[in-house]
């Protein structure tokens, strides 16, 4: 008996045990098989093929707003994943003009994953397979190419989610990220002095530069400036893929505020980086005088930020936040604006007030001011990275409320206090 002599349902069942690429090849054999694979009224075969992959069930995944998909196009989703998997494995850019779609597929893959109920729950399959796919340097390879604006934003978004790459550990990469973060021309009333584009969307080039500056402070004792250790395949730390997984709200305890979709209520750790203000001013004066500013926001002359002469410090403080009220947002009905106040744990005179709202894309935007004894001086603005209430936390920029030309600026990282900082170097497999 030949394959085509079998009942249609049995042929479909057999195909579900094949790799999707093999199914595509089988469909080219004759009209019957092509019709069976591509023209079926139901999506059973594609659903089974998708669920056979090491991926999360998309029906159980949530997006950045905490919502599940209303429907799943199994065929399209699987074809996009398999194509992206193939391009990354070959360390390729794909076909002419295809890179944007590949990057978008990978970003959507890691931004739509199963939520977890506590920090010790398992990592989602989407994040695990993305870690495996991307650990071999594809992100660094793509960033070395001549990219358009959309591709630049997408690869920096993916880089922010992924975390430390081999290129990140080099001295020149650290200096480059500093040059963007401490470049005053990257802050204006147009982007509200935060990591945003002029249209209000997240500027992932800026967020990724902030991630790099914070990361090198966190990993200063684990890394030198010569790249990853030869025995290390990749490093897992709090600003990376395992930590972008969305967190479910606690269903056991009574929520203090039912509309606290961002998980504001509770204890947080805020970390600020800053450099010598005199060097900051000279660095930016040189940019203005020499017109060395590039269109991408990275100055050409970074000599002041190199070597031991440039001193950068990180300070970490604990703050207890309490929601004061929420306000309906007609553009984001499931994400009302959350207003909050906070007090620094060891600095009771330091008060923090702010709000969390949704960006155009639905990311949680944190804006807050702080100061001592009612003297509000500092202004901070950042975006939640990853899924809703993710352990990754918020990356952003701080400055003063006055926004004068010579005001200090720098990056900050805000994370929930229960998220401990651990660094794990994953070794390369031995031959």
Residue pLDDT, tens place only, 191-210: 999 999 999 999 999 999 99
342 pLDDT above the threshold of 60: yes
- Could you tell me the pTM of the whole model? 0.91
358 pLDDT above the threshold of 90: yes
Percent of the chain with pLDDT over 70: 88
Residue-level pLDDT at 284? 92
63 pLDDT above the threshold of 70: yes
Residue pLDDT, tens place only, 260-314: 999 999 999 999 999 999 999 999 998 887 765 566 789 888 989 988 788 899 9
Tokens of 329: 């947002």
Determine the CATH number of domain 3-51: 1.20.1280
Q: Where are the domains of the chain?
A: 3-51, 165-431
* Furthest CA-CA distance within the chain: 86
Residue pLDDT, tens place only, 226-243: 555 555 556 778 999 999
Confidence of residue 252 (pLDDT cuts 50, 70, 90): very low
Confidence of residue 162 (pLDDT cuts 50, 70, 90): very high
């Amino acid at each position: 008996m030949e394959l085509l002599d079998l009942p249609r349902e049995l042929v479909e069942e057999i195909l579900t045990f094949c790799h999707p690429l093999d199914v595509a090849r089988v469909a080219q054999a004759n009209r019957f098989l092509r019709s069976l694979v591509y023209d079926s009224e139901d999506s059973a075969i594609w659903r089974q093929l998708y669920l056979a992959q090491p991926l999360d069930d998309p029906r159980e995944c949530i997006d950045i707003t905490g919502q599940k998909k209303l429907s799943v196009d199994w065929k399209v989703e699987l074809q996009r994943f398999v194509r992206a998997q193939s391009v990354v494995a070959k360390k390729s850019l794909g076909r002419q003009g295809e890179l944007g779609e590949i990057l978008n597929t990978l970003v959507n893959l890691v931004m739509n994953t199963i939520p977890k109920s506590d920090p010790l729950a398992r990592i989602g399959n989407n994040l695990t397979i993305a870690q495996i796919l991307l650990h071999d340097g594809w992100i660094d390879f793509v960033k070395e190419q001549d990219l358009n604006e959309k591709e630049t934003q997408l690869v920096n978004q993916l880089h922010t989610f992924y975390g430390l790459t081999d290129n990140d550990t080099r001295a020149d990469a650290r200096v480059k990220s500093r040059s963007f973060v401490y470049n005053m021309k990257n802050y204006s009333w147009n982007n509200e002095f935060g990591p945003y584009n002029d249209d209000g969307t997240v500027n992932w080039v800026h967020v990724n530069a902030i991630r790099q500056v914070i990361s090198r402070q966190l990993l200063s004792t684990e890394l030198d400036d010569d790249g990853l250790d030869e025995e290390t395949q990749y490093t897992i730390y709090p600003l990376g893929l395992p930590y972008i997984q969305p967190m479910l709200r606690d269903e056991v305890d009574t929520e203090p505020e039912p509309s606290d979709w961002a998980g504001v209520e509770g204890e947080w750790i805020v970390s600020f980086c800053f450099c010598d203000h005199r060097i900051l001013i000279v660095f930016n004066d040189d940019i203005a005088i020499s017109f060395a500013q590039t269109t991408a926001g990275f100055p050409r002359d970074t000599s002041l930020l190199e070597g031991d002469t440039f001193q950068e410090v990180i300070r970490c403080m604990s703050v207890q936040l309490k929601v004061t009220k929420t306000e309906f947002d007609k553009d984001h009905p499931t994400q009302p604006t959350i207003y909050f106040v906070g007090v620094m744990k060891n600095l009771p005179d330091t008060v923090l007030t702010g709000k969390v709202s949704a960006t155009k894309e639905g990311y949680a935007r944190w804006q807050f001011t702080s100061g001592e004894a009612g003297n509000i001086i500092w202004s901070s603005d950042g975006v939640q990275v990853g899924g809703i209430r993710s352990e990754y936390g918020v990356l952003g920029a701080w400055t003063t409320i006055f926004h004068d030309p010579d005001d200090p600026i720098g990056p900050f990282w805000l994370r929930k206090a229960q998220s401990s900082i651990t660094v794990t170097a994953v070794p390369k497999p031995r031959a």
